Amino acid sequence: MNKFVLEFRKVDLMVYISHLDLQRLFIRSFKRANISLKHSQGFNPHPAMSFAQPLSLGYEGLHEYIEFETNCEFNTDDIKNMMSEVMPIGISILNCSKYSGSKSLAATTNACKYDVIFPKVKIDVDSYLSQAEILAQKRQKKSKRLKEVNIKDKIRNIECTENKEDTILHLHLDGGSESNLSPELIIQSITKFLDVPVDRNDIKIIRKEIIFQTAK
């Protein structure tokens, strides 16, 4: 099996391309690098390529992962170098490794860590976490209506640090197919609960790490 995992970074202007556009970018880049991807069978074949966890528009991702399968054998260092040569500014290839897992990376994704960077404000994390329930308004996929949900069980840890210019929330949240919590719901609920006066456009989000149930 010629299965591989590519680790990459998505920063700078690349944060403004959607997940679908990122998929297209990687498909084009594999072609430009002369790396032939295996395709699915059927009337509408598609490349055997998938991301561990989609990255929301506007977010930086420091350690993102994409798994793929090739039609022939490749050396991992060669793939890393070939892809590095064709990627645009803002996408950096960090590593390439063989993948032998029986489940997809998406199926083994367990949690994610984020840094949420606010302009200098006071955030009392202890008071926020001490609530019996932590409520947020979540939009339902089918009805598109907002529904109040309790997100406390999906929060693994939150810490807060400050520097001269910023207040930074370090989030450790459920992330994966079984249980997933968007940092947007943390921002929404914590700013409302603590009455933090901040514009969402002034907040920067960085996904620092994707955590897997088992070794990749």
User: SS3 for 108-152, per residue?
Assistant: HEEEEEEEEEEECCCCCHHHHHCCCCCEEEEECCCCCCEEEEECH
pLDDT at position 216, please? 45
pLDDT confidence bin for 101, thresholds 50/70/90: confident
Calculate what percentage of the chain has a pLDDT beyond 70: 98
Same fold, 3-100 and 110-212: yes
Residue extents of the structural domains in the chain: 3-100, 110-212
Average pLDDT rounded to a whole number, residues 164-187: 96
Average pLDDT rounded to a whole number, residues 116-120: 96
As a whole number of angstroms, the distance between CA 107 and CA 50 comes to 11
Average pLDDT rounded to a whole number, residues 95-123: 95
Q: Is the pLDDT of residue 214 over 80?
A: no
Q: Is the pLDDT of residue 213 over 90?
A: no
Domain 3-100, second-level architecture: 2-Layer Sandwich (3.30)
Classify residue 10 by burial, with Cβ atoms within 10 Å: 0-12, 13-18, 19+: buried
As a whole number of angstroms, the distance between CA 160 and CA 169 comes to 5
3-state DSSP assignment of residue 21: helix
As a whole number of angstroms, the distance between CA 87 and CA 92 comes to 7
Residues with Cβ < 8 Å from 88, sequence gap 6 or more? Answer: 14, 25
- The pTM of the full predicted model, rounded to 2 decimals, is 0.93
pLDDT at position 143, please? 81
As a whole number of angstroms, the distance between CA 103 and CA 123 comes to 39
Domain 110-212, second-level architecture: 2-Layer Sandwich (3.30)
